[in-house]
Chain A
């Protein structure tokens, strides 16, 4: 399996910086030949997680890009309750939660690391066979 290319970006949290992140995601989507809707989904997932970021502290995003897709890690996020929600059982049908949003727009997600009350969320978006 070929090694993944890695991009890392540390950025302040805030709407004005999200454009930078969207452009990076756009560039990755272009290289992977993702569909416009897949790019939009990935951007939405990242935006939803950034909303959980601490406005006082920067957040680091790392992207591992391989022919099969992109793995995004995003953190640290501040809310331990969020980790519980993301690691908990599937929400009941009809309930709109962050886990449901993520499970709709990415192929898989998980909480990869929890330390000092902070966590890193992993998102996987696979290249769809066309």
Chain B
């Protein structure tokens, strides 16, 4: 089936191609097609101290799970089947990794506004704002800003993807566009290179832009279309994951 045929195929045809024929491109088309649903559902959970793009990424994992678990014998539309999966994934995220634990609501809200505000100030000032400038923007103290930033770091590992949910379960985001590369463990602890190949393409590209091309987080954010804070979290998460893989 050509790319055009895939795009025009029904959900059911694509699900059949994926589940019966193992056609990964059919799965990708399904994901792309239903991302607006994910965004719509994610928006319901915005303003709770979590960046919207992070919620969307979590919701996307729910969508992937729905596609993978869909049974062709079901007489139910994928949209109908996916909705509770996406919502469930987002709720689980808030429950397990989110804010309900110890972070005061005021800090949650401040953190949620931090990314857009830093972006706006960066654009306005032509450089990254200082902590004092961020605090002035919120009419709060620098201590509050630092606490809010740290509150965001508390769950920072969860960003582009939520990571595996079980010992034998692949991170769903890794299965899209990722090289099926084997990486070798190495005794050279200073080199993260072998583990780089195991990262999803998008994260590899972000690391390359930062550490090879020398782009700033702000420049990367502009190119990739995500927030500077999200770039920061992705870099941390990627490096930590690579470090863990190398043991």
Interface residues of A (CB under 8 A from B): 19, 22-23, 26-27, 29-30, 33-40, 44, 47-48, 51-52, 79, 81-82, 85-86, 91, 93-101, 104, 128, 130
Q: Tell me how far the C-beta of B102 lies from the nearest C-beta in chain A, rounded to whole angstroms.
A: 11
Beyond A19-B154, A47-B236, A101-B239, whether A95 also contacts B193 by CB under 8 A is: yes
> What are 5 A-to-B residue pairs whose CB atoms are below 8 Å?
A29-B130, A30-B132, A37-B217, A44-B232, A98-B190
Q: Give residues 188-247 of B contacting A (CB, 8 Å).
A: 188-193, 196, 207, 210-212, 214, 216-218, 228, 232, 235-236, 239-240, 243
Q: Tell me how far the C-beta of B105 lies from the nearest C-beta in chain A, rounded to whole angstroms.
A: 19
Q: Tell me how far the C-beta of B93 lies from the nearest C-beta in chain A, rounded to whole angstroms.
A: 19
> What's the dominant secondary structure at chain B's contact region?
helix
Counting CB contacts under 8 A, is B52 at the interface?
Answer: no
18 additional contacts, CB 8 Å, given A26-B146, A30-B130, A99-B190?
Answer: A19-B150, A22-B153, A23-B147, A27-B146, A30-B142, A30-B146, A34-B131, A36-B118, A36-B130, A38-B128, A44-B239, A48-B239, A81-B188, A82-B190, A85-B188, A85-B191, A96-B191, A96-B193
Cβ A97 vs Cβ B193 within 8 A: yes
Which residues of B have CB within 8 Å of A82?
189-190
Cβ A19 vs Cβ B131 within 8 A: no
Instruction: For B214, give the chain A residue with the smallest CB separation.
Output: A104
Cβ A23 vs Cβ B236 within 8 A: no
Cβ A33 vs Cβ B211 within 8 A: no
- Which of A23, A104, A130 has a CB less than 8 Å from the CB of B146? A23
Counting CB contacts under 8 A, is B129 at the interface?
Answer: yes
Cβ B131 vs Cβ A29 within 8 A: yes
Which residues of A have CB within 8 Å of B131?
26, 29-30, 34, 36, 39
> What's the dominant secondary structure at chain A's contact region?
helix
Q: How far is the CA of A79 from the CA of B189 in the complex (A)?
A: 9
Cβ A95 vs Cβ B191 within 8 A: yes
Q: Give residues 141-186 of B contacting A (CB, 8 Å).
A: 142, 146-147, 149-150, 153-154
Counting CB contacts under 8 A, is B58 at the interface?
Answer: no
Which residues of B have CB within 8 Å of A79?
189
Q: Give residues 55-108 of B contacting A (CB, 8 Å).
A: none
Instruction: For B154, give the chain A residue with the smallest CB separation.
Output: A19
Counting CB contacts under 8 A, is B134 at the interface?
Answer: yes
Cβ A26 vs Cβ B150 within 8 A: yes
Which residues of B have CB within 8 Å of A94?
212
Which residues of A have CB within 8 Å of B193?
95-97
Which residues of B have CB within 8 Å of A104?
210-211, 214
Which residues of A have CB within 8 Å of B142?
30
Instruction: For A34, give the chain B residue with the smallest CB separation.
Output: B130
Cβ B192 vs Cβ A35 within 8 A: no
Instruction: For A22, give the chain B residue with the smallest CB separation.
Output: B150
Beyond A35-B129, A39-B131, whether A97 also contacts B192 by CB under 8 A is: yes
